[in-house]
Structure 1
Amino acid sequence: MSGTLARTGLIVLVALLLAGCTGTQSVLSPGGVEAERVHLLFWIMTIGSGIILALVVVLTGLALFGSQSLRSRFANERFITGLGLFFPVVVLTVLLVYGLFVMRAGAQSQAPEDGQLRVAIEGELWWWRVTYLDGEGNRITSANELHLPVGTPVELALTSDNVIHSFWAPTLAGKLDMIPGRENTLTVTATRAGVTRGQCAEYCGGAHALMAFHVVAHPPQEFEAWLAHAASPAHEPATAQEQHGAELFQQAGCGSCHAVRGTEADGVIGPDLTHVGGRLSLAAATMPNNSQAFSDWIVNNQHIKPENKMPAYEIFTEEQLDDLSIYLDSLE
């Protein structure tokens, strides 16, 4: 009875652990061509290792509690050599070959055709600069989100000018380092629409854990509409509060670090804010995206994400802070 309860408890524990691995940031919920290969290889290795573990447990039990004749057979040199040497060599060799086949090691990836979309992603401290290079040579800069068309290979050019980062979107593909002075490329193909999450997977400093991003996969027509909107300038302030907030943005010098296309703000130190109000999050997936979050970030950003390059602005009155936050939130 106790053995049955122990087995039941173990099964429930494993199920709960696996359930915790699903969701918006998990290799167990693949949404890309390479991630589907990783998912298949994971289950092959997990099931195979489980079978081998069960075999070892059974043989150990028989060696401890079996009959004397059976235990004598286990002590035979050929039995030990077979299971202890040849069996692991054969299994690991087969697994290596199969893994290389599944992951298509050495094969040319399906690269984008001439004129198709290319995305340059730069690892900053501690956020992501994302620039879309369309077929006409236009550069459309955003931050902290990667938008992709479903079913189309997109080449990601990964760079860093500070420290080593690692780009990891588990539902799309495996990790790839971003090394200063070098460009690494990764071709990804989203297989289903939806929103997932990625993370910097290489320790890069104090706020490393707060350097995440969202991946948004669109049906092709929706992606074209999104890209056209992303390329457009910011809309004009529509209310008195938004107008006042836009004036404060310029007067406080925000435009020296941030760009808002269609205005005099053309800074390149911080994220492009042209359509910041339409993003899924603020501060690289650290905060929700609303006017209150903008206010909190402006005043308390060093507390929220220590050592980031933006100083804490405590120069605004409560009314000014509200107007500035409402203006930023309106940039959709």
Structure 2
Amino acid sequence: MKTAAAVSLLLSVILTAGCNGAQSVLNAEGASAIQLKHLIIGIVVICCAVWTLVVIVLVLALLRARTPRERPSSQSERRMGRLVTAAVAASLLIIAGLTIASFYAGRGLGVAQNPGLTIKVRGQQWWWQFLYDDADPSKAFQTANEMHIPVGVDIRIELESSDVIHSFWVPSLAGKRDLIPGRKNTMTIRADRPGVYRGQCAEFCGLQHSHMALFVIAEDMADYQRWAASQRSDGISPTDPESTAGKALFMRKPCIACHTIRGTEASGTTGPDLTHIGGRQTIAAGLLDNTRGSLAAWIADPQTLKPGNNMPLVPLSSGELRQLSAYMESLK
């Protein structure tokens, strides 16, 4: 069962390699991801070589078995014994070598000595919460499902879970690391080139496990600093009548019990922070593109789109739905 799953995963990785922004270990753009890529290629090459040698020996043995032979002499038996011993020794060396190589590649996930940025990642059913700490509490902020990082900087990731075991995996940047309730794990990621890198929860965590994606957006330091400055600001106050009505509606409905919009009375912590939701590329952890239509569909019936999620159905008229989606779209 595990072998079949591993083969399926490897095939999916190979088929998606090289695509723009692909979720692929072969599209490595980070130091630890490059080490893991080399490890995978090395293991595949060695295993192919061993398989080829075994097949060659098997074919030779079968051909030789068809030829009538005399009883083997003691000298030939000793020679065969030495060959078997050599094969066993070679197998042990290969296994030991691959184990050591795996160990050193795994160390690449360790915490950097002097990280340039620390981000707390909290796994939820089924979305990602990213908390950007700062020595000055007024500069700390949080976002959901999309993590922005500066290029060429070691990022310390502190992992924790609010419910069940999740696994943080952005294959183009690093390997997997679990998020375990009651325990904090750490890892380091680094992007050497700007781009959008897709990630995924890699540990089965419930009904919507497959719809728990994340995106790491790596950008130049200047672009990152502009983004961070905008994220620290309060939510934009709407100016058009429809969005203004949507804001008033949001504050009257149960939405404020679960969501935060900084600069307003909405300060819930159960659901994602919506202060700048309009600036994200997707909603519902990568399930839908972030358009006004998608926002309206999600608000209208989240359980149909993502069954089992913790967002309750809030009855709304069509007019109220248009107002709320306009307000969400304006929060950039």
TM-score (norm 2): 0.88
Is residue 121–residue 129 contact of structure 1 (8 Å, CA) maintained in 2? yes
> Offset at 1:37?
0.6
Q: 1:39 aligns with which of 31, 34, 37?
A: 37
> Offset at 1:101?
4.1
The answer for unaligned runs of 5 or more in structure 1 is 1-13
Provide the identity percentage: 36
| Residues in 2 aligned to 1:247 and 1:98: alpha-carbon distance in whole angstroms | 59
Say if 1:89 and 1:229 are closer, same or farther in 2 by CA, change over 3 A.
same
Letter in 1 for 2:80: N
Say if 1:108 and 1:181 are closer, same or farther in 2 by CA, change over 3 A.
closer
| Residues in 1 aligned to 2:242 and 2:34: alpha-carbon distance in whole angstroms | 48
Is residue 110–residue 187 contact of structure 2 (8 Å, CA) maintained in 1? no
Q: Secondary structure at the match of 1:217?
A: strand
| Residues in 1 aligned to 2:82 and 2:261: alpha-carbon distance in whole angstroms | 74
Q: Secondary structure at the match of 1:185?
A: strand
Say if 1:259 and 1:205 are closer, same or farther in 2 by CA, change over 3 A.
same
Structure 2 counterpart of 1:125 = 125
Q: Secondary structure at the match of 1:76?
A: helix
Q: Secondary structure at the match of 1:61?
A: helix
Letter in 2 for 1:18: I
Structure 2 counterpart of 1:7 = none
User: Are 1:319 and 2:316 matched, yes or no?
Assistant: no
Structure 1 counterpart of 2:80 = 76
Q: Secondary structure at the match of 2:103?
A: helix
| Residues in 1 aligned to 2:110 and 2:144: alpha-carbon distance in whole angstroms | 29
| Residues in 1 aligned to 2:166 and 2:119: alpha-carbon distance in whole angstroms | 17
Letter in 2 for 1:57: V
Say if 1:208 and 1:103 are closer, same or farther in 2 by CA, change over 3 A.
closer
Structure 2 counterpart of 1:4 = none
Q: Secondary structure at the match of 1:166?
A: strand
Q: How does 1:91-102 map to 2 (within 5 A)?
A: 91-102=94-105
Q: How does 1:162-241 map to 2 (within 5 A)?
A: 162-241=163-242
User: Are 1:149 and 2:150 matched, yes or no?
Assistant: yes
Say if 1:127 and 1:17 are closer, same or farther in 2 by CA, change over 3 A.
closer
| Residues in 2 aligned to 1:15 and 1:207: alpha-carbon distance in whole angstroms | 23
| Residues in 2 aligned to 1:240 and 1:226: alpha-carbon distance in whole angstroms | 28
1:272-318, CA deviations, whole angstroms, 9 ceiling, x for partnerless residues? 000001111000111110111111111221111111111122x2221
| Residues in 1 aligned to 2:227 and 2:150: alpha-carbon distance in whole angstroms | 10
| Residues in 2 aligned to 1:235 and 1:136: alpha-carbon distance in whole angstroms | 23
Structure 2 counterpart of 1:90 = 93
Q: 2:51 aligns with which of 50, 53, 70?
A: 53
Structure 2 counterpart of 1:10 = none
Say if 1:217 and 1:16 are closer, same or farther in 2 by CA, change over 3 A.
closer
> Offset at 1:191?
1.2
Is 87-96 or 278-287 further displaced after alignment?
87-96
Is residue 41–residue 102 contact of structure 1 (8 Å, CA) maintained in 2? yes
1:68-126, CA deviations, whole angstroms, 9 ceiling, x for partnerless residues? 47x9769923222322x112012222233334345447x9642335xx42111111111
| Residues in 2 aligned to 1:108 and 1:26: alpha-carbon distance in whole angstroms | 21
Say if 1:277 and 1:17 are closer, same or farther in 2 by CA, change over 3 A.
closer
| Residues in 2 aligned to 1:291 and 1:40: alpha-carbon distance in whole angstroms | 43
TM-score (norm 1): 0.88
Letter in 2 for 1:50: C
Say if 1:100 and 1:253 are closer, same or farther in 2 by CA, change over 3 A.
closer
Say if 1:321 and 1:17 are closer, same or farther in 2 by CA, change over 3 A.
closer
| Residues in 1 aligned to 2:106 and 2:312: alpha-carbon distance in whole angstroms | 45
| Residues in 1 aligned to 2:277 and 2:229: alpha-carbon distance in whole angstroms | 15
Say if 1:19 and 1:163 are closer, same or farther in 2 by CA, change over 3 A.
closer
| Residues in 2 aligned to 1:291 and 1:148: alpha-carbon distance in whole angstroms | 26
| Residues in 2 aligned to 1:273 and 1:51: alpha-carbon distance in whole angstroms | 53
The answer for unaligned runs of 5 or more in structure 2 is 1-9
| Residues in 2 aligned to 1:146 and 1:244: alpha-carbon distance in whole angstroms | 31
Is residue 110–residue 188 contact of structure 2 (8 Å, CA) maintained in 1? no
Q: 2:23 aligns with which of 22, 25, 28?
A: 25
| Residues in 2 aligned to 1:205 and 1:104: alpha-carbon distance in whole angstroms | 30
> Offset at 1:15?
10
Letter in 2 for 1:64: L
RMSD: 2.5
Corresponding residue pairs, total:
314
